[in-house]
Structure 1
Amino acid sequence: MSESLAPWQQRVHDQAMATLSAGRLGHALLFDGPAVLGKRAVAERLAAYVLSGGEPAAEARNRPLIAAGTHPDLHVVSFVPNKEGTRLRTEIVIEQIRELGQQLALTPQYGRAQVAIIDPADALNTSACNALLKTLEEPAPGRYLWLVSARPGRLPATIRSRCQRLEFRLPPRDEAAAWLHARGHAVPAAAEALDAARGHPGLADEWLRGDGLALRREVATDMAAMEAGRLEPLEAATRWTADDHAAERLRHAAEHALGLGRAQAAGTGLTDPDRLHKLGAWFDAANRARELLRSTVRADLVMADLLLAWRDASRPQAGKGDNR
């Protein structure tokens, strides 16, 4: 657990603490907002406070235990290995929620409270949601159930309506840039990453610390080559699924299609309305494909179908738009 929170995280944390101090913090919270904005970090910081009963010394002792995942009164529910142990499940199942209910029924080991964090909550399957709803409807004193989600709309309304919402939003650009600089990123690189991430500091930081920007450029180059007929979609699909970055490539690909669509909408030389419609449809298809990659489908087949569709969607009709 980080020692310091980013400014946008601190604002949400302070909001929650004010609500807690006023005695208006319910047992169920929904931390929602874009991925990689630090929702889990804020949830863990609040957990350290709640589990300590507000005593600073106890909170200081709780933080390293929470960071190590060894606090006996903090229960985190997330993806677990499948029965074969070959990969993580792509959903949270009813057995996990039943086990959580059993844990919350026990007396807290440190005698103060228990906190459960479900992350990502939108991965709960239907049976797990139904089991969770019972826990939400019958709260026990000193038991807190916190849901973390970048896609809260996927949760049933019956669950969302029983949670207080803590919303995370993208910060102002100058704040995001200052945070990136403070983390050691050079000004030009931070600006490029922030532009590529459409103002999302968490994504920009992740890309700068890894190969995200290089991967983004590679994807744009491949998509332009497919559009121009210099690269076969099946060849690109094979390469795009040859490692663990297929989902990230699809994210960049969807952003690339969105950028082309915006360029057309802005009237920068692209004037084919049929192409604009196809780009929008392909953007949606790319995001659906990202979700499919979380399942057991063959990634190469999903990618091949998508990139074959890209070749059609990206090209203007003969006699329309720009005549490249």
Structure 2
Amino acid sequence: MTEAPPWHDEPWQRLLQRRQRDALPHALLLSGPSGLGKRAFSERLQRGLLCTQPVDGDACGTCRACLLLDAGTHPDRIAVRLEERPDGTPRKDIVVRQIRALSERLSKSSQFGGWQVACIDPADAMNAAAANALLKTLEEPSASSILILVADEPWRLPATIRSRCQQTEFRLPEADAAQAWLQREGVADPQVALEAAGGNPGLARRWAEQDALSQRQQVRADLRALAEGRGEPGALASRWLDDALEQRLWFAAQAAVDELRERATGRRAPLGSQLSTLELAEWYAQANRARDALRGPLRKDLILLELLGAWR
């Protein structure tokens, strides 16, 4: 198993102590920004719970349970994730049928006589009916089951579900610790990568591997050209739509913050925006709303055209 990042140490030790006291919660919500390793943490926890010979909470990797986990056939492990529609396209929500099937499985005894471990990921993708169906399971848990919910955006979950889970929140680590970890991971310029990712080391590593930092510079160049009248919103929108749109919008919002910061110091703003300070702050909010709207039914080209037109 890949070595866990240092910001996992505290939540892991806390759960390990609860396990040693036989006081694990029946429902655990792992939340926090994408990129901090919540899913790797969940995988580690699930394997450790189902292993018959764990060492300090970690799976041994050699017992029968671990071999079944490796093969994906352990009967007491249940995964609820986004499915495909009949036409092969991925669903955007977890539906009530999946949660009812989960509840039925958890109502039965463990086949190995130990834990039954279920994971819903992404839990914040449950639709309203699915979330309502989950409530009964949370209110009447079986003695040997643990339910793990993984959510990048836990505020999308109903308060009734959040209140019935023990929440483990993954927060951004201190910059020095994050940069040190990125350096160990082989990221060439950890400070620049971490800045681009808003302090998120996992995201910084991923983007460094994907050469996303060059895209960040391209987004800034595009916005500068628009502000100076050297580009057209329509042509730019077409190009952004073709490649990593959500990531480009992240970099665009970040550029607006940098523009505001430079103005506050009295220096010449690097992107040359003609927007007032209040308009620029609103544009930043609009860029973030546009990122959120990508998940919905609205046309992406119109959302983007409106945003870039406002910048121009």
User: Normalising by structure 1, what TM-score?
Assistant: 0.86
1:322 corresponding residue in structure 2: none
Give CA deviations for 1:92-112 in whole Å, capped at 9, x if unaligned.
221221121122223333331
Aligned to 1:276: 277
Secondary structure at the residue paired with 1:174? helix
1:44·1:66 contact (CA, 8 Å) conserved in 2? no
Distance in 2 (alpha carbons) for counterparts of 1:63 and 1:267: 60
Residues matched between the structures, number: 305
How far off is 1:69 after superposition? 4.5
- Give CA-to-partner distance per residue, 1:217-272, whole Å, 9 cap, x none: 111111111111111111111111113x11111111111112222333444456x9
How far apart are residue 37 of structure 1 and its match?
0.2
Which residue is equivalent to 1:310? Answer: 311
Indicate the residue corresponding to 1:300 in structure 2.
Answer: 301
Q: How does 1:88-167 map to 2 (within 5 A)?
A: 88-167=90-169
Matches within 5 A, 1:69-80: 69-80=72-83
Contact persistence 2:44–2:59 (CA under 8 A): no
Q: Distance in 2 between matches of 1:116 and 1:83?
A: 25
List per-residue Cα deviations over 1:149-186 (Å, max 9, x = no partner). 12112211111111111121111222212211221223
| Structure-2 change in CA distance of 1:231 and 1:98 (3 Å) | same
Identity of aligned residues (%): 44
Task: Check whether the contact 1:52–1:112 (CA below 8 A) recurs between aligned residues.
Answer: no
Moved more, 166-175 or 32-41: 166-175
Q: Deviations over 1:178-216 (max 9, x none)?
A: 211221223xx2221012223211111001111211111
SS at match of 1:60: coil
Q: Distance in 2 between matches of 1:198 and 1:68?
A: 37
> Structure 2: any 5+ residue segments left out of the alignment?
none
Deviation at 1:70, TM superposition (A): 4.2
Report the CA distance shift for 1:158/1:265 in structure 2 as closer, same or farther (over 3 A).
farther
Secondary structure of 2:143's aligned partner = coil
1:318 corresponds in structure 2 to none
Q: Could you tell me which residue of structure 2 aligns to residue 4 of structure 1?
A: 3
Q: How big is the alpha-carbon RMSD for the aligned residues of Structure 1 and Structure 2?
A: 2.3
1:298–1:65 distance in 2 versus 1, CA, 3 Å: farther
Instruction: Summarize the alignment of residues 36-115 of structure 1 with structure 2, pairs less than 5 Å apart.
Output: 36-52=35-51, 55-56=54-55, 59-61=60-62, 62=65, 66=69, 69-85=72-88, 87-115=89-117
Q: Which amino acid aligns with 1:302?
A: I
Instruction: Say whether the 8 Å CA contact 1:51–1:59 is kept in structure 2.
Output: no
Residues 285 and 266 of structure 1: is their aligned pair in 2 closer, same or farther, counting only changes over 3 Å? same
Match of 1:148, SS state, is strand
Contact map agreement 2:197 2:204 (CA 8 A) in 1: yes
